Amino acid sequence: MLHSTSNPVADSTQTGTPVNPSALSDWFTNIQFDDPLLGLALILLAGIVGGELFALIRLPKVTGWIATGIILRQLSLPGLDAESLTRFTPLMSFVLGFIAFTVGATLYFSSLRNAGRRIGFLMLGETLITPTIVGLSMVFVGTLISSQMDMKSGLLLAAIAIAGAPGTTVLVIQEARARGILTRTLLAAIGLIDMVAVGVFVFISSFVGENSGWGNALGLVGVQFGVSFAVGACWACVALALTRTIVGPAFLGPVMVAVILGTWGTAVGMGVSGILACTFAGIVVTNLRHDTVRSTEAYMQSISGVLFAVFFTLAGMKLDFTQVPAAAGLVGLFFVARLAGKFTSAYLAMRAAGMSRDVRNYLGIALIPHGGVAVGLILLVQENPNFQSIEGIVTTVGLAALAINQLLGPSATRFALQRTGEDHKDRDRLLDFLQEQRIVTDLSGNSVEEVVRRLAGLLYETSNMTIEQEEYIEQVLERDAEETTCLGEGLMIPHAILPGDDKQIRGVLGISSAGLDLGAPDHRPVHAVLLLATPESQRNLHLEILAAFATAITRDLNLREQLYHARNPARAYEVLHAEDAEDMNYFLEDAFERAGMLETTKPTKPGKKKA
């Protein structure tokens, strides 16, 4: 940055006078390369290069960004030393707010219809099991390793250990193009886990730092959450009101950016968590006007790469590996205890919820990433005068372990997604409309009409339909009266063709393990009822679904038994979307390529005949 008011070289050139050597010397002397924008450019370029290099060796780019940040810190370039990083705090706060808002937006209650049980158990485990394992380890084993560790330090580290890394997790999922039950659980849980971490930290810091007692500590947690919710909800409602009255569709994205900035700034000004407030803002927006969230994500997509590259490179620059040797034993203990806590919590929660073995075994590993909220909690310890005597050891252990978790965490999440077979599953598939929230496994009814009415209720709860519910039910029943839709082997596919040029087929699946007597031609009980609502423009795809489903059910005994006796909707989803079901639920783009087709309205898979 130039501190002189004029450029002697340019001035001399314009006037035709000789260059004054003294002025030229002064100009060079006054040159300083510490402008924040120059530093930001260097950080961004270095992060991009580091991310690409790590991608070449099949590691997540986020790991490369963090590693690049650690290297930049060691280089101590002008304007990029540790003391200068505070200049970038507003940018990091905005990215954290954007991450929190996005994570909150994933909590669309309608889409989490069947996920509440497992998410609830996981939150209970993260509240009790993870901090208990970490706290006991640090208090009873850590005090033997180092005299600096005491009960206060151990309890604070226990709360910090709960925090996850929403940004890292979302980024790894996007890079892996993952889709499945583990992915859905991660996306729904990571924001709530950070909220749990903040709540537990407020409680512990109040209890051990201010000796305020259990009641007052719980009261402070309530205030933190209540005020954060009020701030986020107010900003969200104001923005939604503007988008409904004044702001046009082209500016939905910018308005949501203003919501993130305003929510964070207001929360910080009121002494509550900006992360909590932005998370609540995302929750309110997505549940009041879900399409607005999609517009925001589309708007931010073009610059999200820049934001994430800068943010995680800066996060790496905040981590000082030179602190590790002095507290290596405590750092290792904290890392192992946190890993054990995450795995145990997730395993027991998923077991209680009846999830599959893969989800039970790998969810805890996928939760290893440790990020922004943990850094924020450590900074709160540094700022609290009640913790002046212990902030050094908490900072050293917390940040050093955070560095290890950030370096290993993304790879651990990617590994979990690969082992569960959910990576590279975000492409369009034939049965994509059958998401977990559109499946029930306790279907009952004594007649076709009773069954259709129950499933139609689920369809209208989880989908945007173009006709009235009663009109749709009448069309389905009329079609079934003309010719039964029971296809044999326990399968029934009632349906209706709806007028219009909508491009989306909608449907729900009901499963009865015991079987229903619905007068099937083969006199067998009906175990699976697939209710479809198909636009006229998608009739070909409708026929493809009928043929694929009927062929798979009647020919594949193993798939049929697994589907008919699925314990819960998540298990039914896994059966339908597993690799073993690819003959029925295949990737549409693969079918197009093999068939040499370009039009999505004719997705006939090679070797399959239309029904």
CATH number of the domain bearing residue 452: 3.40.930.10
Angle in degrees, CA 192, 195, 200, rounded to 5 = 125
* Same domain for 482 and 406: no
* Same domain for 337 and 462: no
Q: Identify the pLDDT of residue 211.
A: 62
* Same domain for 252 and 113: yes
Report residue 515: phi and psi, to 5°.
Answer: 95, 150
* Same domain for 393 and 460: no
Q: Identify the pLDDT of residue 321.
A: 65
Least reliable range by pLDDT among 207-211, 348-352, 370-374: 207-211
In a domain, 122, yes or no: yes
* Same domain for 446 and 335: no
In a domain, 60, yes or no: no
Position 7 pLDDT exceeds 60: no
In a domain, 159, yes or no: yes
Least reliable range by pLDDT among 139-153, 463-477, 489-503: 489-503
* Same domain for 269 and 146: yes
In a domain, 554, yes or no: yes
Q: Identify the pLDDT of residue 82.
A: 67
* Same domain for 515 and 375: no
Kindly indicate the confidence band of residue 141, based on its pLDDT and cuts at 50, 70 and 90.
very high
In a domain, 51, yes or no: no
Which residue do the tokens 């339908």 mark?
A: 576
Q: Identify the pLDDT of residue 594.
A: 44
Least reliable range by pLDDT among 213-217, 343-347, 420-424: 213-217
* Same domain for 582 and 530: yes
Is pTM, for the whole model, over 0.75? no
Burial of 386 (0-12, 13-18, 19+ CB in 10 A): middle
Pairwise CA distance, residues 554 & 605, whole Å: 18
DSSP-assigned letter for residue 567: S
Per-chain mean pLDDT for the chain: 80
Pairwise CA distance, residues 131 & 377, whole Å: 15
- Tens of pLDDT, residue by residue over 288-334, are 887 776 666 667 666 777 888 888 888 778 766 676 677 889 999 99
Q: How many domains does the chain have?
A: 3
* Same domain for 466 and 396: no
H helical segments located in 521-587? 539-555, 557-564, 569-577
Q: Tokens for 513?
A: 């393990």
In a domain, 426, yes or no: no
In a domain, 460, yes or no: yes
Pairwise CA distance, residues 113 & 115, whole Å: 6
* Same domain for 452 and 415: no
Q: Of 576 and 23, which is predicted with more confidence? A: 576
Pairwise CA distance, residues 112 & 51, whole Å: 33
Amino acid making up residue 33: F
Amino acid making up residue 465: M
Range of the domain at 322: 93-419
- Tens of pLDDT, residue by residue over 248-284, are 777 777 888 898 999 999 999 998 888 889 889 988 9
* Same domain for 154 and 281: yes
In a domain, 98, yes or no: yes
Position 574 pLDDT exceeds 70: yes
Pairwise CA distance, residues 438 & 569, whole Å: 8
Query: Which is it for the CA torsion 7, 9, 14, 18, positive or negative?
Result: positive
**Of 373, 389, 419, at which residue does a domain stop?**
419
Pairing of strands 486-488, 495-498: unpaired
Q: Measure the N-to-C terminal CA separation of the chain; round to a whole number of Å.
A: 72
CATH code of the domain containing 308: 1.20.1530.20
* Same domain for 488 and 405: no
